[in-house]
């Protein structure tokens, strides 16, 4: 399979659907379709989704609140590693906090939906779309050295090795200063088994578990969108050590964990994880808080399957 590619507008395929009437909607998607205006305020403006995308899309009020809560600090670029139909990438672009929003998606039809939906929301030109595997993309950014730390002053010329469609030269949209880049990941959750568990074991998440995702993201600040029942202790263990902090060998940094709710029902848990400049060891330092997304007029009452 080809490596990640920066893509211009992909054609919509027959999988990119806009259901107008319940009679067209597959039975397993109907409960989501009834919530379509809570998921996409502009649904009627020809929002497109693949059938799979309905199960994992981040509802717009939640995506907007995450985009509001995510403080760029010095960062200017956010990379949405699992862009899906564009729920989060569009919200990041609409927040106007970022010079660059990069959206990576491995499924061409789903990416075509995301591009089309970004057009509907008027932010198509503010998002750089990459077709391919986000882990391969990150591997291009993270130099494969034996050094445990990533130089935060390195400007990654990711495009030097990316297979660009239109322009064989380096596309400036993919010049990334890693010290100014934040990663956002809303991975598949592997179905709805998390609902049956009081505490969801993130080591069993499919197809990528917490450790795999964290290993790929750890040199950078990263934000993980996870099932609401996720095991906080597993997240706590990702807290990096600040070598300049008090204490022997430094001090543990804090991971902020936020529950995002609509109409009082939790939709997801989001962990805001600082970069790990050096090899980190387990920690128990998590601070959590509750945050409710704007739920006015919302009728969302069922769980996401991601
Ligand atoms: C839960 S959905 C993301 C939903 C998205 N946040 C939204 O609001 O539309 C996960 C997406 O990740 C994509 N995906 C899975 N593995 C991937 C990978 N290795 N690289 C890029 N995309 C991937 C899937 O095709 C799916 O569209």
Domain locations in the chain?
Answer: 5-292
Identify the band that residue 164 occupies on the pLDDT scale cut at 50, 70 and 90.
very low
83: nearest Cα among 36, 48, 38, 130: 130
CATH class held by domain 5-292: alpha beta
Closest atom of ligand 1 to 58 CA is 8
More confident residue, 166 or 137: 137
Q: Which atom of ligand 1 is nearest to the CA of 63?
A: 8
**Residue 93: strand, helix, or coil:** helix
Q: What is the mean pLDDT of residues 224-237?
A: 97
Q: Does the C-beta of 110 come closer than 6 Å to ligand 1?
A: yes
pTM for this prediction:
0.86
Give me the pLDDT at residue 140, please: 79
Which is more confidently placed, 64 or 279?
Answer: 64
278-290 in b/e form (b: 16+ CB < 10 A) is eebeebeebeeee
Q: Read off the pLDDT of residues 145-158 as tens digits, 9 standing for 90 and up.
A: 433 333 333 344 44
- Close Cβ partners of 234 (under 8 Å, ≥ 6 residues apart): 201, 202, 203, 210
Q: Reply yes or no on whether the pLDDT at 165 is more than 70.
A: no
> Tens digit of pLDDT for each residue in 240-298?
988 777 766 678 889 999 999 998 899 999 999 999 975 543 333 333 344 333 333 33
Q: How far lies 66's CA from each of 14, 79, 148, 210, in Å?
A: 31, 14, 30, 20
pLDDT digits (tens, 9 = 90+) for 76-130: 999 999 999 999 999 999 999 999 999 999 999 999 999 999 999 999 999 999 9
Best of 4, 6, 84 for a ligand 1 pocket test (most atoms within 8 Å of beta carbon) = 84
Ligand 1 lined by 104 (C-beta under 6 Å): yes
Which whole number is the average pLDDT over 155-167?
40
Mean pLDDT score, 217-234: 96
H or E element in which residue 3 lies: none
The mean per-residue pLDDT over the stretch 199-224 comes to 96
In the chain, % helix, strand, coil (3-state, to 5) comes to: 30, 20, 50
Given this model, what pLDDT does residue 172 score? 67
Take atom 26 of ligand 1 and give the residue whose Cα is closest: 84
Q: How far, in Å, from the CA of 81 to the mean position of ligand 1? A: 7
- At 273 the pLDDT is 97
Ligand 1 atom having least distance to the Cα of 107: 25
Q: CB of 85 closer than 6 A to ligand 1?
A: yes
Residue of higher predicted confidence among 142 and 274: 274
139 lines ligand 1 (CB under 6 A): no
Q: CA-based angle 87:89:90, to the nearest 5?
A: 70
Reading the block at residue 118, the tokens are 């970004």
Residue 54: the pLDDT is 97
Q: Which atom of ligand 1 is nearest to the CA of 50?
A: 27
């Amino acid at each position: 399979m080809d490596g990640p590619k920066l893509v211009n507008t992909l054609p919509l395929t027959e999988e990119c659907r806009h259901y107008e009437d319940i009679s067209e909607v597959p039975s397993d998607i109907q409960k989501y379709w009834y919530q379509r205006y809570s998921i996409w305020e502009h649904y009627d403006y020809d929002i497109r989704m693949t059938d799979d995308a309905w199960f994992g899309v981040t509802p717009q009020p939640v995506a907007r609140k995450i985009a509001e809560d995510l403080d760029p600090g010095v960062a200017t670029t956010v990379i949405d590693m699992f862009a899906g139909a564009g729920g989060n990438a569009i919200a990041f672009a609409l927040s106007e906090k970022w010079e660059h929003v990069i959206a990576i998606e491995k499924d061409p039809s789903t990416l075509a939906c995301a591009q089309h939906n970004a057009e509907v929301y008027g932010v198509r030109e503010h998002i750089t779309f990459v077709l391919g595997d986000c882990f391969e993309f990150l591997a291009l950014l993270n130099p494969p050295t034996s050094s445990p730390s990533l130089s935060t002053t390195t400007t990654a010329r990711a495009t030097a090795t990316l297979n660009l469609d239109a322009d064989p030269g380096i596309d400036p949209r993919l010049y990334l200063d890693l010290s100014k880049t934040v990663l956002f990941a809303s991975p598949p959750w592997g179905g709805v088994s998390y609902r049956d568990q009081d505490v969801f074991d993130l080591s069993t998440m499919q197809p990528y578990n917490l450790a795999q995702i964290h290993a790929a993201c750890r040199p950078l600040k990263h934000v993980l969108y996870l099932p609401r029942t996720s095991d906080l202790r597993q997240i706590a263990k990702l807290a990096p050590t600040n070598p300049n902090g008090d204490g022997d060998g430094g001090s543990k940094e804090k991971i902020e964990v936020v529950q995002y709710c609509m109409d009082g029902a939790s939709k997801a848990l989001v962990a805001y994880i600082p970069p790990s400049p050096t090899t980190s060891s387990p920690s128990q330092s998590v601070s959590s808080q509750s945050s409710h997304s704007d739920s006015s007029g919302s009728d969302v009452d069922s769980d996401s399957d991601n």
